[in-house]
Amino acid sequence: MADSTKQNNKAKNNLLATAAKSNTAGILAIIIIASLVMSFTQKEFATAVNFNVIARSFSVMAIVGLAQMVILGMGGMNLSVGAIGGLVGVTVGGLMATLNWPISLAVIAGLFVGATCGCFNGWFINRVHDPLNRLNVTSFLVTLASASVFTGINLGMTRAVPIYGLHDSFISVSRMTIGGISVLILIMIPVAFTVAFIMHKTSIGRQMLAVGGNSRAAELSGVSISKITIFSNIISGILAAIAAIIVISRLGSAQPTVGEGWLLFSFAAPLIGGTKLEGGQVNVSGTVLGAVLLALASNSLVHLQVSVYWVTFIHGLIIVAAVGIERLRTISAEKWGTYIHE
Amino acid sequence: MSKNQSDQNASVLLKTNDISKSYPGVKALDKVSLSLEKGKVHALLGENGAGKSTLIKIISGVISPDEGTMHINEQPVSFINPRQAFSSGINVVHQERNVVTTFTVGENILLDAIAAKDFKIINKEQIYQDSREFLDMVGLEISPSRIVEDLSVAEIQLIEIARALSSRANILLLDEPTASLSLNEAESLLKTIRKLRDQGVAFLYVTHKIEEVFEIADMVTVLRDGKKVESTLPIHELDRSKLVSLMVGRPENVEPFPVRQFQNKKPALEVKNLKSKFSPYEDSFTLIEGEILGWYGLVGAGRTELARALIGYDPATGGNIYVKGKAAKIRSLSEALYRWGIGYLSESRKEEGLFLSHPITRNIAASVWRKIRNRIGLLRIGAEDRLADYYSKKLAIKASSIYQIINTLSGGNQQKVNFAKTLATEPEILIVDEPTVGIDVNTKRQIHELIWDLSKEGISIILISSDMPEIIQLTDRILVFSEGQICGELKNTKDYKHMSKQIIGLCLKEEGLTG
């Protein structure tokens, strides 16, 4: 009898495993169907202009999502992605417009600020982390606090006044298209590839996922949890910085409010895409597609002339659904997985 | 003689000398010496709290001993962390699983190698190829590229052993490796261990299963209350009944409680053919009002599982429960406690019983907040304190005040608070699971007296224990568990010699049937 239940469980396991794996395909299908429906019902939807509108917005969302995904993968969370973005935005803008730094130096400085913020997060998490607690609880609290710190520096420096007068060539980058495709996609794709390479192909990436999957097992195998915490937060900070630099280029000015709405999307994109909330498993292409889906939904709402005031509500629903689906997937996997008898 | 001596020493890979370790209020290990020899399996037996896991933790560098020394290849060693033990060739397969479930089999086996260098490109094909060698060593025929998540517990167990082997460990500590395995799975694991043993690996093998000891062990050490029971014995000097009597120990020199008669009393609880997911065999028994019913069995014999089915922790999948003659459907702990008056004291009081960082008052009140709150849901002023005062006196809890934090109490007093917490709900039936594990001998008697007094007040008690003297001194009737179900019922005459023989007989009869 025990054998038959086990087989049963295994069958269910396989089904779920397949479902989890086909996640990417599922999102792709939803995206295609939604796009087709929109194209047939809304005249302005299927135009090159609109395509690039969507592309610009999902490029940023995808990179923000990756910034969160990296941390989710190692079993933590980063509530300060938006705050890091804001601080990087005004730094780059300020260096360029006020101190007249060349673009390349300003961008490098921006990435450095992002990395430093991440490094601070990682260091602080290590300082206050009690191994008996889960890493995500500690990182939740630390990044909640540091988000306020970063935003505080941002507002203190700028007094909430946007910085105008960025170099024209910097602004024009985000408006460029190559073969009709927004250049932002061409920036996002190599970024995503690099993240995928780090997470799946390098030793440190595997160590990050090992910590997320089972920090005790990782530690017993000689993985340094504190080193991994710092490293993954630096990567997250750099990704947030890249996203922020793209946004100020798009806006043409460094708004201190850059990054304000990022937090929810940063969780939604990876969770829709099959990244596990409790760590150990990430999906880069899924995260990118999750961002596409979110951008598509926002854009469709505009075309369907849904009141702006209700857009937030619908975003909320999408995110609740994303988290719900992720939870369902995990819980059912646990329920039907082989249980360990006492 | 001296040549002989050195020959013998050459095969000793690891030796501990008089290792002792104390925790507040309890001596976990008391001068334990043992040696692990090349190509030998050394079985370590003992009940919960006997000190086995403490010994493993010391050997593997998780904790350091208070006294005593350790030698590897005759070189003195002292580890301050697991990494050092690891680089000395010691590897542990813990009882709980330590794999990264989202990784592949190969990556899990070679996790140490992945952790060794940070900025290195991982060649998965290479990893799969390299890990195959260790999969072969443990005799596991699965693809190294499979995700661990879908594997069975037995397969994961073997993967952990493969990982230990990948570090070229020559000393392997296995903590109850077959606890979660089926018979066939366990058999193939034992086969693997034999093979590795023949290749020269030294094993320390912790188990509760007597059958296994005779199948695999070359020598046997039994721990009881942190001390070695007799010396380490080679397997050919032991038989089943000798081993069981070593494990259950001799009676301490204390008076048993008097024999009582329950002829005209009504049953407090009747259970018919009860089973659950974790207690798959149907069990039936009756608990008489005011009696102490002992559930004896070695760890893993299915006692806790049945208790959990009874209190609705693992909801019953079949059978009937009657509380005072009324049919009871118990679906949750709170239903068991508040509707049917069945209280349960978990064997792990620190994890499942007490709020360690809270004062005595709040711990006792925790189970009766619904009783001591006023109409708008606030706790009545002083109610917690009055409760704590009452039970502190009644159970003679020794503390500086009722506001003392649980963590700072001794094990025995913690257990009393645990009792008080359940007693505050005024249960009619109390299930007490291993109440004296990790409690020193003197406080043990106090807990026994407490249980006895409660039964005299009319509370019907089920005492789950693998401590033979405790069962025989305290209970009125004994159910013996083996292999997941009740295998016999005995009326307790409190004559130690006679009773222990009968109990061991019942345990062994079952073992013999399956073995």
Chain A CB contacts of B82 under 8 Å are 220
Q: Do A206 and B107 touch (CB under 8 A)?
A: yes
Mean pLDDT of B295-317: 85
Interacting residues of B417 by C-beta distance below 8 A, sequence separation 6+: B354, B360, B363, B364, B397, B406, B409
- Share of residues in chain B with pLDDT > 90 (%): 23
Residue A204 has pLDDT above 90, yes or no: yes
CA distance linking residue A223 with residue A219, whole number of Å: 5
Residue A140 has what pLDDT? 93
For B212-269, how does the pLDDT look when each residue is reduced to its tens digit (9 = 90+)?
A: 888 899 999 988 878 888 888 888 888 877 887 777 666 556 678 888 888 888 899 9
For A313-337, how does the pLDDT look when each residue is reduced to its tens digit (9 = 90+)?
A: 887 888 788 778 777 776 766 554 4
Chain A CB contacts of B182 under 8 Å are 2
Which is higher by pLDDT, A69 or A135? A69
Mean pLDDT of A88-114: 95
Mean pLDDT of B101-121: 87
Interface test mutation site (partner A, options B92, B112, B149, B351, max chain A beta carbons within 10 A): B149
Residue A16 has pLDDT above 60, yes or no: no
Alpha helices in B88-146 (DSSP H): 105-109, 111-116, 124-137
Lowest mean pLDDT among B61-75, B93-107, B180-194: B180-194
Contact B278, B307 (CB under 8 A): no
- Smallest CA–CA distance, residue B4 to chain A, in Å, is 39
Interface test mutation site (partner B, options A199, A221, A231, A332, max chain B beta carbons within 10 A): A221
Local confidence band at A4 (pLDDT 50, 70, 90 cut-offs)? very low
Residue A282 has what pLDDT? 92
Interface test mutation site (partner A, options B79, B104, B118, max chain A beta carbons within 10 A): B118
Tokens of A231: 């490293």
Record: fold of A25-36+43-335: ABC transporter involved in vitamin B12 uptake, BtuC (1.10.3470)
- Listed by start position, the domains of chain A span 25-36+43-335
The letter for the amino acid at B414 is Q
For A110-163, how does the pLDDT look when each residue is reduced to its tens digit (9 = 90+)?
A: 999 999 999 999 999 999 887 767 788 899 999 999 999 999 999 999 998 999
Q: Does B151 touch chain A (CB under 8 A)?
A: yes
On average, the pLDDT of chain A sits at 86
Q: Do B120 and A202 touch (CB under 8 A)?
A: yes
For B48-78, how does the pLDDT look when each residue is reduced to its tens digit (9 = 90+)?
A: 667 888 898 899 888 889 999 999 988 898 8
* 3-state SS, residue B45: strand
Residue A23 has what pLDDT? 67
Chain B CB contacts of A69 under 8 Å are none
Which is higher by pLDDT, B367 or A333? B367
Residue B512 has pLDDT above 50, yes or no: no
On average, the pLDDT of chain B sits at 84
Chain B CB contacts of A6 under 8 Å are 152
Starting at the edge strand found earlier in the chain, the sheet holding B75-77 runs B26-37, B12-23, B67-72, B75-77
Closest-CA residue of chain B to A3: B182
The 10 Å Cβ neighbour count of residue A337 is 17
Sign of CA dihedral A151, A155, A160, A163: negative
| Report for A62-71, A260-269, B167-176: range of highest mean pLDDT | A62-71
The closest CB to that of B82, out of A14, A205, A220, belongs to A220
Mean pLDDT of B330-357: 85
| Residue of B110, B147, B139, B146 whose CA lies nearest to B127 | B110
Which is higher by pLDDT, A302 or A105? A105
Chain B CB contacts of A215 under 8 Å are none
Lowest mean pLDDT among A327-331, B301-305, B491-495: A327-331
**Is the interface score ipTM higher than 0.90?**
no
Q: Do B147 and A14 touch (CB under 8 A)?
A: no
Local confidence band at B351 (pLDDT 50, 70, 90 cut-offs)? confident
Closest-CA residue of chain B to A11: B150
The closest CB to that of A203, out of B82, B86, B117, belongs to B117
CA angle at A312 for the pair A310 and A313, rounded to the nearest 5°: 65
The letter for the amino acid at A188 is M
Residue A289 has pLDDT above 80, yes or no: yes
Residue A12 has pLDDT above 60, yes or no: no
Chain B CB contacts of A217 under 8 Å are 98-100, 108, 111
Please report the DSSP string for A166-224 in residue order: --HHHHHHHH-EETTEEHHHHHHHHHHHHHHHHHHHBHHHHHHHHHHH-HHHHHHTT--
CB-based burial of residue B37 (10 Å sphere; 0-12 exposed, 13-18 middle, 19+ buried)?
buried
Residue A98 has pLDDT above 80, yes or no: yes
Interacting residues of A204 by C-beta distance below 8 A, sequence separation 6+: A198, A228, A231, B118, B119
Starting at the edge strand found earlier in the chain, the sheet holding B342-345 runs B342-345, B429-433, B460-465, B292-296, B477-482, B485-491
Helix or strand run (H / E) with residue B43: strand B41-45
Residue B441 has what pLDDT? 66
Local confidence band at B3 (pLDDT 50, 70, 90 cut-offs)? very low
Residue A338 has what pLDDT? 36
Residue B1 has pLDDT above 50, yes or no: no
Chain A CB contacts of B97 under 8 Å are 340
Local confidence band at B4 (pLDDT 50, 70, 90 cut-offs)? very low
- Helix pair A225-251, A183-201: axis angle to 10 deg: 180
Contact B172, B91 (CB under 8 A): yes
CA distance linking residue B12 with residue B4, whole number of Å: 13
Residue A3 has what pLDDT? 44
For B441-457, how does the pLDDT look when each residue is reduced to its tens digit (9 = 90+)?
A: 667 888 899 999 999 99
- Share of residues in chain B with pLDDT > 70 (%): 93
Residue B5 has what pLDDT? 45
The 10 Å Cβ neighbour count of residue A155 is 16
Residue B241 has what pLDDT? 75
Q: Which domains does chain B have, with CATH numbers?
A: 10-248 (3.40.50.300), 267-514 (3.40.50.300)
Which is higher by pLDDT, A142 or B413? A142
Report the predicted TM-score, pTM, of the whole model to 2 decimal places.
0.75
Helix or strand run (H / E) with residue B18: strand B12-23
Q: Do B122 and A203 touch (CB under 8 A)?
A: yes
Beta bridge partners of B275: B318
Mean pLDDT of B16-43: 87
